[in-house]
Amino acid sequence: MSYLELLSRFAPETIVVITALVVLGLDLLVLREEPLRNRLRIGAAFSGLGCVAAAAWLLAIAGSAEASSPFATGGMLVDDPLTRLVKVALLALGFFAILLATEGNFTAHVGEYLSLVLLSVVGMMLMVSSTDLLMIFIALEATSLPLYILAAFNPRDPRSSEAALKYFLFGGMAAAFTLFGLSLVYGLAGSTNLAEIAVRLADTGRGPDALLPAALALTLTGLAFKVAAAPFHLWAPDAYEGAPAPSASLIASGSKVAGFFLLARVMMVAFAPVAGSGTWHHYAAGWMPLVAILAGLSVVIGNLAAIAQSNVKRLLAYSAVAHTGYALLGVLANDPRGVSSLVYYVITYGLTLVGAFAVVSAVEDREGGSNLTDFAGLGRREPLLSFCMMIFMLSLAGIPPLAGFFGKFYLFAAIIGGARNLGWLWLVVLAVAMSAVSLYYYLQVLKQIYVLPEPERTAKRRPPMVTKALVGLLALGVVIFGCAPDLLLRPLLAVIHGRVF
Amino acid sequence: MNGFPLITLLTATPLAGALVLAAIPEGRKQLARGLGLAFAAAGLFWAVLLWAKFDSSATAPQFQERHVWIPTIGAEYFVGADGLSLLMVLLAAVVTPIALLASRSIRERVPLYQSFTLFLQAGLFGTFTALNFFHWFIFWELSLVPAFFLIKFWGGPNRSAAATQFFVYTMVGSVAMLLSFLAIFWATKSFDFLELAEKGRSGELAALLNVRIDGWPDLTRREFPLVIFAGVFLGFAVKVPLIPFHTWLPTAYSEAPTGTTMLLTGVMSKMGVYGFLRILVPMFPEQMRIVLTPLLWLAVATIVLSACAAFAQKDLKRVFAYSSINHLGYCLLGIFACLKYTGGDATWSLQRSAALNGVLLQMFNHGLTASLLFCFAGFLEERGGGLRGIDQFGGLRKVAPIFCGLMGISVFASLGLPGLNGFVGEFLIFKGAFPQATWATALSVIGLLVTAVFLLTVMQRVWNGPLNERWALLPDLTWRERWIVLPATALMFLLGIYPQLVIGKINATVMLMADQLKF
Amino acid sequence: MLAWTVYISFIGVLAVLCLPERMVRATRAVALVAALAGLGLAVAGIARHGLDGSMTTIVKHVWVRGLGIDYYLGADGISLVLVLLTGIAATAGILFSWNIEHRAKEFFAFYLALIGGVYGVFLSFDLFLLFVFYELAIIPKYFLIAIWGSTNREYGAMKLALYSFIGSAMVLLGIVAAYVVAGSRTMDLFELAKYPFPESFQFWAFPLVFVGFAILAGLWPFHTWAPGGHVAAPTAASMLLAGVVMKLGAYGALRVAMTLFPQGLAIWRDTIALLAVVGIVYGALVALVQTDFKFVIGYSSVSHMGFVLLGLMTINAVGLSGAVLQMFSHGIIAGLLFAVVGRMVYDRAHTRDLGALEEMGLGRALPFAAVTFAVAGFASMGLPGFSGFVAELQVLIGAWYAFPTFAALAGLGIVIGAAYTLRALQKAFYGEVAESRSGAHPPLPPITLPEKIGAIMLVTVAVVVGLYPKLLLDLIGPSFYSPLFDGLRAKGAF
């Protein structure tokens, strides 16, 4: 095919790249003299324009018949309705992160910041489209490298650089492991295309290979790092805490969505023949037991560690680890329902996290810190913000009728239905039990906000309108997706078509 | 079937009175006393009307009213009166006004006192006329509440403990009874006393209760019905009371205010005996026969031991309390003796009727005399400024001759002097019981003797002998007080000389009861 | 129409939140109107409902098509009785909270939200929807206790929230498993009840779901949240907690666990009945030795709920309807008891220690409270003439059919109940006050009109239902013959 065709198929990515360059150029060349506030606003406006344009393109072609079939470019990338839906979500999350950045004052390098965000989003979009090992690696790096830098963007806070360094070192290690794993896979399968790998692995004429477990484990390592599954989560608390709020929200939401999607695709497509089984009494070697262990560890470690936290950002980080555990249940279901539940969960989770980080950043601006005690009495001072925070916390805890509850319900239904005679029940019991425990630390945050009395009044900065609007919108979204899950579920089920990827 | 709701009116009148009086403010003492008396008089009026209209020859309960109440558990509003009920209703109706009149010394919260007393009367009326267990149990339990409060608020120094002990003790018995009745319902699907009596007589009740229970594998044929019987028995044994379930009584009687004690001893204690006659004997004749010997022993123990205990008391009210236990023991002796022999033999029928007539008479008579005795004790207490020890008085006959005379009549009636009402009942009981349960009756005579001894001792210590100087100025009975006790005293003479007045009405019922015991 | 009970409560929440903070009177009025509206709707619903055990469908929409979840609200006799209870308890609770000044707006908002959730549970016939409302109710409870409570409130609130959440987590697990096993097609209660779940599945699914619900109902030994939680909660919340929320657990156990898994029920029946009886006796014994007035009532609630659970286990018509009637009766009576202890006594005397109260001569100082407590106490100990007697009678009859030994032990609980109630009554109100001391306390504020109205309302209901229980039994009894309980009837002795 021609490059023009390629470009038109991947127009959204192109649009975003162009936007990134435009924003960068604009800021560096034209807006140097403007006050920070204006530079941010103009930059955000253009970025937003680009994101919206890309999303509009994706939604517009969604209806047309010719584009609803998957389109593979020589086995490297695919463009099908499911991918498009996820890309829209990624664009939205990126846009929200940018909105959050408009009110920040942590850096003077506006253009760099915004363009890095956009480029990271491009990387995420590539991640969800990748169907080839090399492409996967490129996309992973394309996403991660900007994120490392984004984490370091607050020069005034030493924790920012520390976070970025840890994130980078850890990520680099993980990337190295992943590459090694991918190379082993290539060696075993003789191809880098996911579908072909599956075919080769299915052909067990040569008997099981000793290298396969190693390949599996190493690949999984890199992917697990991306989604912050225990025990590869150690970067998360520091990154969430140290990075400036918009960066953290992008890390927590966008890269999670993309990472999960990729993990699911790789496991369920490429390694489909070696799925194995982790169900009770039916153990068989494969990626399922490994993922099950990851899920179990994440759920336990994430929840238990979160109980001990006194800083809300770190609390959110450990809770993110726990939620990774829940989401992995969707992967373990290994059927279309599982994929649908996974996508639903991570998208709504992403929205919730962005909102939570927005509130946290507002509190950080006022109080200078984001410890639990900094939230004391917030309910009296900022009723809207507090109410929305309550929605976010309760959604994370899994209280109906919010999106988090439905997501968890759907995940549990998917995984229990995924194996005959309810074999996954042991894992679900663990997840449910830990989920019950999680209410404790979410209530701690709410306790600070609503129950404890406010400290002495000093004139504080009011949070900006943009933050409030964003938070309100996201909270509304969480409630709506919780009360009417069909809004997201219907399109999702339509594009999944009853087949896996 | 549902004629003029005489019994409902009977029960509703004191109930309405209680509600009206509860609303009266505390200061209007005279008004409260007047109203209380009026309602009690109205109750008496209904009772006398019932008496007058009662057909002496019919055996089935009369003035029946029957309405469905809670079908799922077989509860009905079912009332009726046969000879036994009638007698008890009359007793309650007679004693209550006297009790109210004797409560002049109550000066605090008078309206509430009157209200509770009327409430208690309503409970008594209800219990004596109910013919369905659910309905009966409501009134049985409900009468506990006003009694509790009456003791608690207006009683003597130890009243809190007395009230609580009274309530909890009786409640234990009631719960045991409730559980047993639930088992009966489970077996027969019925709470109707008449129906259950029928089943009891024919042995069907025992047969229905004769089941193996999961978890109680060792029950044989007759043991489960015995267990159920024991539950019901406990409920009534506590109420009568039968030794050894009597320990609540002396404290309660002595701590309660005089008017309440009159009602407690006069009527409430009869609830226990009534229960025996109405429920226990008709439904569980077989079971009672199985444990007859122990029962007779208990009756004898009640008679003899309480008399001895009375002899040892120094507090006047306690003497009379134990004496009450003693007199009710005779009732139980009579009942138990009747169970001994089955068969339709004419002589046994005769003995049984005699004994049962005696039991009913004794119930009525004792009710009358015992309440009057406590009334007098109350008068003495008021005059003595709260003292009631028999050793604290002496020779009061010299200063209060009329008091002595009238009290003496009651004491002799309680003793069983021929010519007064107490004699007839006791005589008939002994006459009927002796052939049937000889040794028990013989032993009970001891009780008679000891009773005579302690009652005369009381008379001696309090009224006769040298005058205790302290009481030289003791006022005699006022005209008001005389008029309170005179009607009852007259009744004592009347019934002593002409017991046919009562026997005539109750005989048919008694014959029926005796007849039913032949199985 | 009955669905409006739910909607009005939530609209009430919004209305209250929109009012400015200082308009406390308006806030109270709005809340009261919302509660009364709910009560009125409940009464109207009962009046219109047929007595043949049928179920009226109020609304049924497809909700999440992909998963077969419907927005399905309906009402049968049992629902109606419990909705009525909620209406009465809610109104009384608001009347007894008339004096709340601190953050009144948020108080009534949380209160109405809790009520809305409770109405929703009683009216849901889709399992997912029922669970949504059930969990929804946990959060307002936490805040009500944590912000406006008294002794140890933060600890009590967190313990209650976590216990409830763990219970509902267990239920969620069971529900999802049942949904999947039945083919992942529907969450309709009627459809699921018809599905023949395999016995091995029911063996663990039943106790999971039942205990998950029964934790909230105070099943021994999972009851430990209850006394502390009730004591820590403010009066209105205790009234709702003991009066209605504990019934949510029992209702869930009946409506979900017992209908879906009758075979599982048959297996675990004796064990649970034993636990229920232990709860009855244990709760009563512990209540007997308490020194804090409110703890006495808290433990008595555990004891009375034991009767409900025992009644549920009898699986015969008499026992089951007795259990539902006891739910209603105890709701009213517990509400009354907590109202007296919390609002009438504690708010004025500022102590709940029975020893301290004994010296205050409250029988004289607060005669209305004394009488109300006496009446409530007698009702609580199951004295005939009040609703508790009929309910306990039915449960005991039912228990005689099923477990005679347990019936006898339960009777023991009644006796101990009389003892601790009398003890509390004596000590709190009618203690022996030395003459010199009785004047030493400053006069206590009199009982206000809203309190009197609330108390009279509750007492009247208890007496009316006690004397004429047919009113409610006619609704409850036939409900057990609906198709929903087919499996249950097959397993029991109907």
For residue range C52-103, what is the model confidence (pLDDT) as tens digits?
Answer: 767 888 888 888 887 888 899 988 889 999 999 999 999 999 998 888 888 8
pLDDT (average), residues A152-175: 89
Non-local CB neighbours of A208 within 8 Å, separated by 6+ positions: none
In a domain, A458, yes or no: no
**Chain C residues closer than 8 Å to A416 by CB:** 176-177, 180
Position B386 confidence tier, pLDDT thresholds 50, 70, 90:
confident
Pick from A298-302, B197-201, B353-357 the range whose average pLDDT is largest. Answer: A298-302
Question: Residue A100: pLDDT above 60?
Answer: yes
In a domain, A137, yes or no: no
In a domain, A387, yes or no: yes
Measured distance between the N- and C-terminal CA atoms of chain C, rounded to whole angstroms: 33
A397-445 confidence digits (pLDDT tens): 999 889 999 999 999 988 888 776 677 888 899 999 998 889 999 998 9
Domain limits for position A296: 275-453+464-501
**Chain C residues closer than 8 Å to B168 by CB:** 415, 418-419, 422
Position A251 confidence tier, pLDDT thresholds 50, 70, 90:
very high
Of C408, C418, C432, the CB nearest to B171: C418
Question: Residue C479: pLDDT above 60?
Answer: yes
d(CA B177, CA B236): 8
Inter-chain touch A439–C136, beta carbons under 8 Å = no
The pLDDT value recorded for residue B462 is 83
Instruction: Give the strand pairing for C56-64 and C69-75.
Output: antiparallel
Q: What is the ipTM of this complex?
A: 0.88
Q: DSSP per residue over A61-73, as a string?
A: HHS-SGGGS-EES
**Sign of the CA dihedral with B58 first, then B62, B68, and B70 last:** negative
Question: Residue A19: pLDDT above 90?
Answer: yes
The pLDDT value recorded for residue B497 is 87
The pLDDT value recorded for residue A384 is 87
3-state secondary structure A416-470: HHHCHHHCCHHHHHHHHHHHHHHHHHHHHHHHHHHHCCCCCCCCCCCCCHHHHHH
What SS3 state is found at B76?
A: strand
Q: DSSP per residue over B56-70, as a string?
A: TT--S-EEEEEEEEE
Inter-chain touch B168–C477, beta carbons under 8 Å = no
pLDDT (average), residues B320-348: 84
What SS3 state is found at C59?
A: strand
Are the C-beta atoms of residues C309 and C272 closer than 8 Å to each other?
yes
pLDDT (average), residues B90-102: 89
Are the C-beta atoms of residues C159 and C225 closer than 8 Å to each other?
yes
d(CA C388, CA C406): 19
Are the C-beta atoms of residues A323 and A389 closer than 8 Å to each other?
no
Report CA-CA distances (Å) from B222 to B282, B298, B439, C399. 17, 22, 28, 22
C226-282 confidence digits (pLDDT tens): 888 888 888 888 888 888 999 999 999 999 998 899 888 989 999 999 999 999 999
Non-local CB neighbours of C41 within 8 Å, separated by 6+ positions: C1, C2, C4, C5, C8, C87
Non-local CB neighbours of B510 within 8 Å, separated by 6+ positions: B83, B353, B356, B357, B360
Inter-chain touch C430–B141, beta carbons under 8 Å = no
Position C333 confidence tier, pLDDT thresholds 50, 70, 90:
very high
pLDDT (average), residues B447-464: 87
Q: Which of A310-324, B182-196, C28-42 has the lowest mean pLDDT?
A: B182-196
d(CA A163, CA B131): 86
Of B160, B183, B216, the CB nearest to C400: B183
Q: Do chains C and B touch (3 or more CB pairs under 8 A)?
A: yes
Question: Residue B219: pLDDT above 70?
Answer: no
Tell me the domain boundaries of chain B.
291-519
- Chains meeting A at 3+ CB pairs closer than 8 A? C
Inter-chain touch A436–C143, beta carbons under 8 Å = no
Are the C-beta atoms of residues C441 and C354 closer than 8 Å to each other?
no
How near does any CA of chain C get to the CA of B15, in Å? Answer: 13
Tell me the domain boundaries of chain C.
3-491
What SS3 state is found at B95?
A: helix
Give me chain A's average pLDDT, please.
86
Position A357 confidence tier, pLDDT thresholds 50, 70, 90:
very high
Inter-chain touch C179–A413, beta carbons under 8 Å = yes
Question: Residue B228: pLDDT above 50?
Answer: yes
How near does any CA of chain C get to the CA of B141, in Å? Answer: 7
The pLDDT value recorded for residue A63 is 57
The pLDDT value recorded for residue B347 is 76
How near does any CA of chain A get to the CA of C161, in Å? Answer: 8
Report CA-CA distances (Å) from B204 to B134, B199, B214, B225, C6. 21, 5, 22, 11, 54
C370-396 confidence digits (pLDDT tens): 888 888 998 998 888 888 898 998 899
Of C128, C154, C184, the CB nearest to A417: C184
In a domain, A73, yes or no: no
**Chain C residues closer than 8 Å to A405 by CB:** 132, 135
The pLDDT value recorded for residue A140 is 92
The pLDDT value recorded for residue A498 is 59
Buried b / exposed e across B127-147, counting CB within 10 Å, b at 16+? Answer: bbbbbbbbbbbbbbbbbbbbb
**Chain C residues closer than 8 Å to A410 by CB:** 67
The pLDDT value recorded for residue C439 is 54
How near does any CA of chain C get to the CA of A205, in Å? Answer: 37
Closest alpha carbon within chain C to B185: C397
pLDDT (average), residues A473-490: 90
pLDDT (average), residues B428-444: 86
Q: Return the structure tokens found at B202.
A: 């024919």
Position C154 confidence tier, pLDDT thresholds 50, 70, 90:
confident
Neighbours of C406 (CB within 10 A): 23
Of B72, B140, B168, the CB nearest to C418: B168
Residues of chain A whose beta carbon is less than 8 angstroms from a beta carbon of chain C are: 340, 394, 399-401, 405-406, 409-410, 412-413, 416-417, 422, 425, 428-429, 432-433, 435-437, 439-440, 443, 446-447, 450-451, 484-486, 489-490, 493
B250-263 confidence digits (pLDDT tens): 888 888 888 888 98
What SS3 state is found at B78?
A: strand
The pLDDT value recorded for residue A40 is 86
Inter-chain touch C404–B172, beta carbons under 8 Å = no
The pLDDT value recorded for residue B1 is 45
More confident residue, C54 or A450: A450
Give me chain B's average pLDDT, please.
84
Are the C-beta atoms of residues C246 and C327 closer than 8 Å to each other?
no
d(CA B514, CA C347): 63
Tell me how many residue pairs between chain A and chain C have CB atoms under 8 A apart: 85
Inter-chain touch A433–C169, beta carbons under 8 Å = yes
The pLDDT value recorded for residue A323 is 95
For chain A, what is the domain count?
1
